[in-house]
Structure 1
Amino acid sequence: MMRIQPLLFTLFIFLIPTLSPAQGGQGGGDGSLLPEINPQDIEIRSEFTARFPGLRRQPILGFNPNPRVFQIDPNRMPFMETREEAVADISITQLGRPEPPFRSFLRIPNRINTYIKAGFGSYLTPELNGYGFYKLNESSIASASLNLRASDGHLNTQESGFRYLDINGTYITKIQEDLQLTVNAGALSDFNYLYNLSDPFQDNFIGETSDKEYRGGSANITLQKKQNSLSGWDIGLGGNIFSSTLNAGNSGSSGDMEEQVLRSSFSYYWPGQKIYETFDITGSVEAGTYKSDFFDSQNWTDARASFTYERLFDFTTRIRAKGGVAYVTDTFSENVYAAPEIEIIHNLNRNISVTGTAFGRPEMQTIQDHNQFNRFLNSQTQLRHAYEAGASGEVNYQLFDGNRIFGGLSYTHTKDYAYYFREEIPPANVLGFYDVNYGTANIFELYVGASHQLVPNKFWADVKVYGRSPKLKSGGDIPYEEKLGLKGAVSYKPVKELTINGWTEYIGSRNSPESNTELNSFLLLNAGAEYQINETFGVYAKLLNILGQDYEIWNGYTERPFQMFGGLTVKF
């Protein structure tokens, strides 16, 4: 035994150098006695930066050095205390209040109660447009509008110019919750210089430039009971008076014309049993009497009744079918007509739709309609009703909301179509004023166009180009009707206060049979701008006939050349 102990002691002495490096291999390089820990085994209790002085491996990533709620001492002894001890000394900081969500208030836009646009242009040309609205009480409102356009002095060889004045007023009141009464009234006062007729064989043929004056008034009362948007009825009663005075010196064409028209209507509509199905029964009677210094009083009547059915099928096809009958009489004829009409709108997909229509119906134009379309009419116009039948088709393509490209064609056959020709005044057969003639007409039209609002409330444009073939059955083209035309408009709003716009119209050459010529085509190019200074006042300017075209709408009278306008706008 004594020999064994010295042997064990000797072995221990030799093993000490071997054990020391092994112990040093488990400790940190800086002399720390911490055991080596794998960072993946560390439990992450929050977002903080940890520093372990005894670790020689890659530092731990992914900690946020700026905690939102608390901060734990990074030099603490990790995981040596309990969870309660770890959070016992956490300092709580005040959190910043987050930004509240944006609140968008739905506001009712301010109604413009009064709008006035007044300006002045070259050739002594004033213009005035006005509109007013007033709420009388909780159930009644009243509005009025005024439009004045005038011009003078653009021709050097004769008196020239015109005046158009229209005044209209509306009164609306709710008698009951679903019963509404509407009263409309209006008046007009127009004046036009016409031709300076001359006869080389007579002195003082007229003695002055001929002129014509219109006066008129209208009134209509409508009683409407509307239970909802698909069910209700309307009753209307009204009429208008019109007179014209042609002053043509001693030419023999001077004279007065007077007209009175009465009209009444009734409509009852209701929904069907199926979704998007509606029915409508309508009846109307319109009667007129007119006379002239050249003939006694003449009468006409237009009475109609119709039944309309409309339905939407599978949210893709809408059909509106109308069956009706009409009784029309005038000085020259008396007839009962069928008045059918059908319209089909089919959506091939969300971008493309096709529309087709076919119809047959009588038409009656009044003395006022003819005179306001052609201001050079004489005082001998007599009325005939027309009957037209036709069909049309149109294709619409809409790539996105606010724009469409369209194209279509139509054909109309009309019996007793009203067209205008210029009469000859004896004895020298000098070309004088216009009269109305009637004939059978066939009109074919092809058109294409586009409507775009590329940037909402910033830029929008419309254009339409059409070609027509207006033919009379007796032969030749319909006088004073174009074969080619274009209409376009564009508006741009670079800033909220400024609007820049332009509009144009092209009318192709037209047949003028009295002079065996064609009226030249013309292109009217116009532009304007309006700037709103504040909520109440603004200024505007516009240019008409920028190209300075010498053109005639009706043979023998040259219309206005280039004009400049400027003025103010007021709204509140």
Structure 2
Amino acid sequence: MVSFGAEIKKPAAFNYPAIPYFKTTITPSFYMIRLILCLFILLMFSSIYADSVFAQQVQPDTEQSLLPDIDPQDIEIRSQFQARFPGLRRQPILGFNPNPRVFQSDPNRLPFIEDEEAVMASLPIGILDRAEPPVYRKMGYSDPKIAFMRGGIGSEISPEADLFAIAKLNNHNWLSGSVNYHSSNGHEERENITTSFRLLNADINSYNRFSPRTHARFGAGVTSNFNHMPQLTTTVDDFLGVNTKVEQTGFRASTDLDIAKTPLTGIQVHAGGLFNEYSINSGLSELSGLSSEWGIRAGGSYSRLGNNINEVYRAKVFGKYGGIEPISGESSLWSISTLSAHYERLFNFRTDVKATLGFSGVSDAEDDFIFYFSPELEVKHTFFTGFNIRAIASGKPNHFSLAQVHNQNRFFDFSSTLRHQYEMMALGEVQLEPLYGTKIIGGASFQDIKNYLYYSRVEAPSGIDEIEAGYFAAQFEKANIFRVYGGFSQDLRPDIFWLSLDGSWQVPRLTDSDRNIPYVESLSLRGTVSIRPVRELLLEGWSEFVSGRRDHNNEKMSSHVLIGSRFEISLSDRYGVYGKLLNILNEEYEFWQGYRERGFQGYVGFTVLF
């Protein structure tokens, strides 16, 4: 409300002139309404002005912009992740990788269905190494670093010694050597009979590794043996005392070269040779003389892998050639040359097949050249762990050297003509392991042999009619041998008690003369038992039974049983002692007619490790 006539009082200090004025009265509600109305009008005009300005600024920018519209889904969010994971490759979350780590098939390939065998054949072939076995030190001995030596002496002045040594020249070359010696002053107490002998063999070998896949081995050896012939069968006293001694001096050498691409493939080359000389000194000049032989062998093979598991192709070439100079008669040459192709493969991880197709050319003292077919097939099938069967069929030629004949029969007369032989053989075998440590084997075989080698004593040697039987000569005839064999081994407690048994029964026949092969038994049994009650003591025992045989005159020879035993004690990790007993029953027997073998004999010796 406004009223006139109101006045305003001034302070006393000032003297203002009087001015007329209106007297006004303002209430609070009226004042607030006016203030709100003014603010509303001001905000409305400000908003209208800002919109007009913003529209003027945006319109030119929109018309002149060249940037494309941005889709929020195209925005890539990147981050700085500092963690590292070896072996993993981090890629952008939404990025593009031109080389994806996936195995892709050619989209243009012809469709096909792979069977299980084809899939397995495409897998790479590798060899799984067996785990390292636990360290096993027999008899408490430590591992020899340089050499191993065992020597002893037996009754009838019979020394024996075995020595083996090895040296590492560098990381690629090793050298080893061995010596085996055994001799005796003789065991025969009868008058005019000498049975002393000596067996000495020494070998040295060198192993060289030129590269991880190229290896070479070189070997050489010498032999120095002698023995005495059995007593002549005669009624003349002068001939009963004739003593004949055979001395052998020999040398041999060989080399092998392996150039391997894989453990199953590569090139293998072998070459070797030998020379042996036999000096026969007899009380009869007609039986004395000098015999010698030489021989060489060489061969090689090339192997490559197939596309299937354990599939190997191999080509082989091998040859053996030699010459023999007998005591009497003309010298002769012999040879065997073989060219073959070999194939082996493992089917279904159970059946292992090895097949060889070869051809051989043979010549000897009586045959200029004979051509033979030389196949070989071996199949081994595993039904399950512990049950295997094996079958073999083969045909191959062979020719014995004088050294091999003398090792078979040390009473060979060195005047016989040697011939080659061709053997066809078929074998079937079953292998069982019903329990851990128990192995059973059994099988049967049949052999058909052309020019089978057997021995018979010569009547009236060198034309001396007073001698009924001289020394043994080599004879050759067609033979058939049917054989059934079996074996059993049991490790009752590992390294504490174990045993083995094996035996065979056979029918050895000479087909042309329709009789048994001389000096070949029909039944043989062998057994061995080993006990180690403590680590430092080993006890062993063995026995052998050989049934009666027929000699060259088709007369029956008695059977015999041989029993032996041995023990060994390790006194320390470097030294030990041993002893053995041979022919404990003191059995009197003859292996070759006219020569009585040794009776009871005991040995004692020592063992040293360097």
TM over 0.5: yes
Paired letter, 1:270: R
Alignment of 1:112-511 (within 5 A): 112-157=145-190, 158-197=193-232, 199-201=234-236, 204-205=238-239, 207-250=241-284, 252-333=286-367, 334-425=369-460, 426-474=464-512, 475-511=514-550
Distance 1:153 1:387, change over 3 A: closer
- Deviation (angstroms), 1:496: 1.4
The residue that corresponds to 1:54 in the other structure is none
- CA–CA separation in structure 1 for the residues paired with 2:346 and 2:595: 51
Please, which moves more after superposition, 159-168 or 499-508?
Answer: 499-508
What is the CA distance between 1:500 and its match in structure 2?
A: 1.2
Mean Cα displacement is larger for which, 404-413 or 228-237?
A: 228-237
Rounded to whole Å, the distance in 2 between the matches of 1:480 and 1:498 is 39
Q: Is the 8 A contact 2:233 2:467 kept in 1?
A: no
Shift of 1:522: 1.0
CA drift at 1:105: 13
Task: Give 2:318's aligned amino acid.
Answer: S
* TM-score normalized with structure 1 length: 0.79
| Alpha-carbon distance in structure 2 between the residues aligned to 1:141 and 1:311 | 34
Q: How far apart, CA to CA, are the structure 2 residues paired with 1:296 and 1:253?
A: 16
| Shift of residue 357, structure 1, vs aligned partner | 1.0
SS of 1:372's partner is helix
Q: How far, CA to CA, are the matches of 1:513 and 1:208 in structure 2?
A: 22
C-alpha distance in 1, partners of 2:279/2:550? 28
Checking the alignment, whether the CA contact within 8 Å between 1:184 and 1:219 is kept in structure 2 is yes
1:198 Cα deviation (Å)? 6.4
Q: Distance in 1 between matches of 2:143 and 2:572?
A: 14
Distance in 2 between the 1:123 and 1:133 partners? 33
Please state how far the C-alpha of 1:430 moved relative to its aligned partner: 2.1
Relative to structure 1, is the Cα distance of residues 399 and 198 closer, same or farther in structure 2, using a 3 angstrom cutoff?
Answer: closer
User: What is the rounded CA distance, in whole Å, between the counterparts of 1:460 and 1:525 in structure 2?
Assistant: 18
Which consecutive residues of structure 2, in runs of 5 or more, have no partner in the other structure?
A: 1-131, 137-141
RMSD: 1.9
SS of aligned partner of 2:587:
coil
Q: Displacement, 1:488? A: 2.3
2:588 is the counterpart of 1:550:
yes
The answer as to whether partners of 1:131 and 1:144 remain within 8 angstroms in 2 is yes
In structure 1, C-alpha distance between the alignment counterparts of 2:359 and 2:210, rounded to whole Å = 34
Equivalent AA in structure 2 for residue 388 of structure 1: E
The aligned amino acid for 2:527 is G
CA displacement at 1:400 relative to structure 2: 2.9
CA distance in 1, matches of 2:156, 2:536: 30
Count of residue pairs brought into register by the alignment: 467
| Structure 1 partner of 2:604 | 566
1:541 equivalent among 554, 579, 590: 579
Q: Distance in 2 between matches of 1:245 and 1:141?
A: 36
Q: Deviation at 1:153?
A: 3.0
Tell which has more relative contact order, 1 or 2 (C-alpha 8 A, sep 6+). 2
Counterpart-to-counterpart distance in 2, 1:407 and 1:540: 35
User: Contact 2:529–2:542 (CA<8 Å) still a contact in 1?
Assistant: yes
> Does structure 1 retain, via aligned residues, the 8 Å contact 2:316–2:341?
yes
How much has 1:340 moved relative to structure 2? 0.6
**Identical pairs, percent:** 32
Aligned amino acid, residue 490 of structure 1: V
Q: Give 1:379 deviation, angstroms.
A: 2.0
Distance, in Å, in 2 between the alignment partners of 1:543 and 1:482 is: 25
Question: How far did residue 238 of structure 1 move?
Answer: 1.1
SS at match of 2:274: strand
Q: How far is 1:208 from its partner?
A: 4.0
Q: Distance in 2 between matches of 1:105 and 1:439?
A: 50
Question: What amino acid is the match of 2:173?
Answer: S
Q: TM-score, normalised by structure 2?
A: 0.74
Cα distance in structure 2, aligned partners of 1:476 and 1:453:
41
What is the one-letter code of the residue matched to 1:267?
Answer: S
Indicate if the aligned counterparts of 1:526 and 1:544 stay in contact, CA closer than 8 A.
yes
**Cα deviation per residue 1:21-42 (whole Å; 9 max; x = unaligned)?**
xxxxxxxxxxxxxxxxxxxxxx
Answer with 1 or 2: which has the greater Rg: 2
Partner of 1:532: 570
How many angstroms apart in 2 are the aligned matches of 1:424 and 1:441?
23
1:265 CA displacement: 0.9
The Cα shift of 1:454 comes to 2.5
Could you give the per-residue CA deviations for residues 16-60 of structure 1, whole angstroms, max 9, x where no partner exists? xxxxxxxxxxxxxxxxxxxxxxxxxxxxxxxxxxxxxxxxxxxxx
CA displacement 1:110-130 (0-9 Å, x = unmatched): 454211000011111100011
Q: Contact (CA 8 Å) 2:231, 2:595: kept in 1 or not?
A: no
Pairwise CA distance, 1:458: 2.3
Task: Please state how far the C-alpha of 1:251 moved relative to its aligned partner.
Answer: 6.2
Give the Cα–Cα distance (whole angstroms) in 2 for the partners of residues 292 and 365 of structure 1.
Answer: 14
